Chain A
Amino acid sequence: MTDQEFKQSLEDWLSIQFNKQCVIEELKPLSGGACQENSLITLRFINDGSKKRLVYRSDKGSALFASLPREYEFRVAQIAYQHGVKTPKPYFLEETGNITGKKFYIMEALSGKTDVRYITKDASLNSIRPKILDELAKNLALIHSITLESQELDFLLKIYHREHPFHPSKFAIQEMKQEIEKLDEPHPTMYLAINWLEENIPSYEDITLVHGDFRTGNFLVSENGLEGILDWEFAHVGNPYEDISWFCLRDWRFGQIKKEAGGFAEREEFYELYEKYTNKKIDRKSVLFWEVMGNLRWAVGTIGQAERHLQGKTRGIELAAIGRRTAEMEYEMMRLIENAI
């Protein structure tokens, strides 16, 4: 399919979806997203000349471990949006693959930037960072208020073959053990981490919607504050502490290691805000368990990213380079365990 055919096909389809004739004025690829292709669309409606900025999101070809196919990601984004989570409005899903050759969905394009340097360091955000943190805590509390009770998340249980009631931490350990066994290179650190995790399983676990990649880089931010939470591809049903600890993971501080909450705020401030919005006390032991688990998951993830390059599924120096970063997560895992009481 040529670029022109792609554009024409999408334009015709969007005219049907909106039920009015429209033209694509601009179609621009957006960077970011290792597993998706995102493009910014500027759409003009013929009848009144009004414009709409949208995002086209499709699969890239090689998915990562545990990433959701587009149709499920769309459903999760819909649920979150309906619950008032600040995320781009999901408009339409195309799951036949007949329009552009791939499944895709269309969502609202929001303003703001995901650039991690801007979010963690730019002086223009200095006075606004406390507001961003507050909005993130508030939105995370909203995400975690979506539970299995309403049954709208049942499809997520099904695709991951989970049956309720289940123990997210035990499930995660099992999942990671299988992943580690599949690795070509031996990683003694990972086995040491599994030993610790197995002895430190949280005694009580809430089960909620989990964003799965709640971190700096997946939030749109502007001088007005948080514009939106993106990337629901790793969403699943699990333990809310997965998101809390993931946000604080060392690697997602992007070099600002003392700013443990997302590389731009104090961890304790984030906890206080989250506690305020959820009315629940943060359990430090659960955070620690999931922070060790998060580092383990990301260590395995880095190997997966490098493999995509090595196997030729998606070639790229940035993917290849990630493979040499595994030791960073492994070291952090050991450090966290050593400091555990």
Chain B
Amino acid sequence: MQYKPENQDLIEAIAEFLRKDILALVKDNDELAYKTLVSWNMLNVVIRDLEKEELNIIKELERLSELLNLPLEIPLTLKEKKEKVKELNHKLCELIKNQKIHKNHPIWDHVKQTLVENLSISNPRFTL
């Protein structure tokens, strides 16, 4: 077991360092300032991801199992959960392709909901 600070706290500290110290140093260099801001932004994505990813994957697995008519399986580790959700999404793609799924269908609503969850991590400022 690792001692404190937790991953999230460490990443927050790096993000603060980039935003407060580094950005001030490189503000006259457009390219470096831009890359610093992108880096800071990505660290914030990672912070949100650490917080929400696993729960979002569980929700996605639940919806996918229902839509694909499969028994719900929630693997133990995060890595296995990711593999499972990828496998089910491949199945979903095949179904969309073969059955020509369109809007006004539960699959459409699920896919959109998954995007909303994705965006809440990758870009919460994205106007829905």
**A interface with B by C-beta (< 8 Å):** 31, 185-189, 191-192, 194-196, 199, 257, 316-318, 320-321, 324-325, 327-328, 330-331, 334, 337-338
Q: Please, what's the 1-or-0 string for B15-49, where 1 marks a CB less than 8 Å from any CB in chain A?
A: 00000000000000011001100110110010000
Smallest CB-CB A-B distances: 9 pairs: A186-B89, A191-B96, A327-B118, A324-B122, A186-B90, A188-B111, A186-B93, A331-B115, A31-B31
Q: Is the CB of B111 within 8 A of A324?
A: no
18 pairs, CB–CB < 8 Å, chain A vs chain B: A31-B31, A187-B93, A188-B89, A188-B96, A188-B114, A192-B96, A192-B103, A195-B97, A257-B127, A317-B35, A317-B38, A318-B35, A320-B42, A325-B122, A325-B123, A327-B118, A327-B119, A328-B119
Q: Is the CB of A328 within 8 A of B42?
A: no
Q: How far is the CA of A194 from the CA of B111 in the complex (A)?
A: 14
Q: Which of B93, B97, B126 contacts A331 (CB 8 A)?
A: B126
Interface-central residue, A189, A318, A324, A328, by most chain B CB under 10 Å: A324
Q: How far is the CA of A318 from the CA of B39 in the complex (A)?
A: 8
Q: Is the CB of A334 within 8 A of B111?
A: yes
Taking the nearest CB of chain B, how far is it from the CB of A184, in angstroms?
Answer: 9
- With a CB–CB cut-off of 8 A, which chain A residues contact B112? 331, 334
Q: Please, what's the 1-or-0 string for B87-120, where 1 marks a CB less than 8 Å from any CB in chain A?
A: 0011011001100111100011001101110110
Q: Which of B38, B111, B116 contacts A192 (CB 8 A)?
A: B111
Q: How far is the CA of A325 from the CA of B41 in the complex (A)?
A: 12
Taking the nearest CB of chain B, how far is it from the CB of A309, in angstroms?
Answer: 12
Q: Which bracket fits the contact residues of B?
A: 20 to 34
Q: Is B59 an interface residue (CB 8 A)?
A: no
Number of A-B contacts (CB under 8 A): 81
In the complex with contacts A257-B127, A321-B42, A325-B122, A330-B115 CB distance below 8 A: yes
- With a CB–CB cut-off of 8 A, which chain B residues contact A328? 119, 122-123, 126
Q: Is the CB of B92 within 8 A of A188?
A: yes
Q: How far is the CA of A321 from the CA of B35 in the complex (A)?
A: 10
Q: Is B52 an interface residue (CB 8 A)?
A: no
Q: How far is the CA of A195 from the CA of B111 in the complex (A)?
A: 14
In the complex with contacts A31-B30, A195-B96, A185-B119 CB distance below 8 A: no
Q: Is B76 an interface residue (CB 8 A)?
A: no
Taking the nearest CB of chain A, how far is it from the CB of B34, in angstroms?
Answer: 7
Q: Is the CB of A321 within 8 A of B119?
A: no
Q: Is B128 an interface residue (CB 8 A)?
A: yes
CB under 8 Å from chain A, chain B span 60-103: 86, 89-90, 92-93, 96-97, 100-103
Q: How far is the CA of A328 from the CA of B118 in the complex (A)?
A: 9
Taking the nearest CB of chain B, how far is it from the CB of A76, in angstroms?
Answer: 28
Q: Is the CB of A192 within 8 A of B101?
A: yes
Q: Is the CB of A324 within 8 A of B42?
A: yes
Taking the nearest CB of chain A, how far is it from the CB of B40, in angstroms?
Answer: 10
Taking the nearest CB of chain A, how far is it from the CB of B24, in angstroms?
Answer: 19
Q: Is the CB of B86 within 8 A of A331?
A: no
Q: Nearest A residue to B127 by beta-carbon distance? A: A257
Taking the nearest CB of chain B, how far is it from the CB of A276, in angstroms?
Answer: 32
Q: How far is the CA of A337 from the CA of B102 in the complex (A)?
A: 10
13 new A-B contacts at CB < 8 Å, known A186-B90, A324-B45: A185-B86, A185-B89, A188-B96, A189-B111, A192-B102, A195-B96, A195-B102, A324-B42, A325-B123, A327-B122, A328-B122, A330-B115, A331-B126
Q: Nearest B residue to A331 by beta-carbon distance? A: B115
